[in-house]
A and B are shown apart, each in its own frame.
Chain A
Amino acid sequence: MTFRKYLVLTGVTISAPVGDSLLSRGMKDVGSISLHNLPHIFLAILNPWVAVGILFLLGFFACYTTALSWADLTYVLPATSLGYVLLALIAKFLLNEQVTPARWAGILLISAGVGFVTRGPALTHREADEQEPARETVNAGGRR
C-alpha cells in the first residue's frame, strides 16, 4: 500500500458522509417534494448545498472506483467504513444531534473492524488460480 492509495481510501471515507450531509442540509431548504411535482427534484440542484453535495458524491464515486481497481471489495468496504463514524460526528457537532452511549459503542465496533481489515493484504489472490509463492508476494506487497 502506497501513500497515494491511502489518500484515495481517505477520499472515499470523507467525501461520502460530507456529500450526504450537504444533501441533507440542502434538502431541508428545498422542503419535501410531492409525487405530483416530481420534476421539482431537478430544481433542487439549484440549491448551493445540494450542488456542492453532488460534487462531493461525484468525487466519492471517482475515488471508490479507483480503489476497486487495485483492492478487493471486501477490503475497500470495511476500510472506508469510518465514514459512518464521521457522519455521527458531523451529526453531533454540526447538526447538534445527541450521541448516545450505544452510538459510541457502535463507533468503537466500526473502528475495530477497520483496524482488523487494514492490517491484512488489500488484494488477495483469486481462489481459482491460487499458487503459494505468488500469494506470498501479493501478501508482502499488501502489508504496510
Chain B
Amino acid sequence: MRPLYTWSAITAIVLASTTGDVLLSHAMKQVGDVHQLWRRSGPLAVVGRVLRNPYFLLGVLSMATAFYSLLFALSWADVSLVGPAAASLTFVANAVAAKIFLHERVDRRRWLAALLVAGGVVLLAG
C-alpha cells in the first residue's frame, strides 16, 4: 500500500505545482512587465495589481496545496525519492502545460532543456 500512497502524493505534488506555476505565469503576463510598471507607477501599484489578480491568488493556493502534499509524501517516503521524483516530473509536466495552456512555443531546444534538467535532478538524488 505504501508505494501506492507515496506515488499518489507525488502525483498530487506534480499536478498542484504545475497548476500553480501555470496560473502564476498567466497572472504575471496579465500584470505585464513589472520593471516598467514600477517605473511608471511605483512599487505600491505593482503589489496592488499583482495581489488583485485572481489567477495569482489561485496560483498561490495551488502552491500551498503542493507544499502540503509534499509534507504528506515525506511522511510516507524518503526525501531522496520524493524530492527528485516530484521536481523532475514537474519540469516535464510544466513544459507540456505551458504549451497547452499558455500557448508558449516549446521548441526542440526547450524540450531538450526540460528533459536534460529532469534527468539531472534524478541523478543528483542518486
Q: Is the CB of B123 within 8 A of A112?
A: no
Q: What's the dominant secondary structure at chain A's contact region?
A: helix
CB closest residue in chain A, given B37: A69
Q: Which residues of chain A come closer than 8 Å to B122, judged between CB atoms?
A: 106
CA distance A81 to B21 in the complex (A): 15
Known: A66-B34, A124-B104. A117 touches B109 (CB 8 A): yes
CA distance A114 to B112 in the complex (A): 10
A-B contact number at CB 8 A = 129
Q: List 15 A-B contacts (CB under 8 A).
A: A65-B28, A68-B28, A69-B32, A70-B34, A72-B25, A73-B94, A106-B119, A109-B117, A110-B117, A110-B120, A113-B115, A114-B113, A116-B110, A125-B105, A127-B103
Q: Is the CB of B113 within 8 A of A100?
A: no
Q: Is the CB of A109 within 8 A of B25?
A: no
Q: Which residues of chain B come closer than 8 Å to A72, judged between CB atoms?
A: 25, 98, 102, 104
List B residues at the A interface (Cβ < 8 Å): 21-22, 24-25, 28-29, 31-35, 50, 56, 87, 91, 94-95, 98-99, 102-107, 109-110, 112-117, 119-126
Q: Is the CB of A73 within 8 A of B25?
A: yes
Closest CB-CB distance, A118 to chain B, in whole Å?
9
CB closest residue in chain A, given B111: A74
Q: Is the CB of B28 within 8 A of A69?
A: yes
Contact among A65, A100, A120, A128 with B50 in the assembled complex (CB-CB below 8 Å): A65
Return the CB mask of A57-86 against B: 1 if under 8 Å, else 0.
000000011101110111111100100110
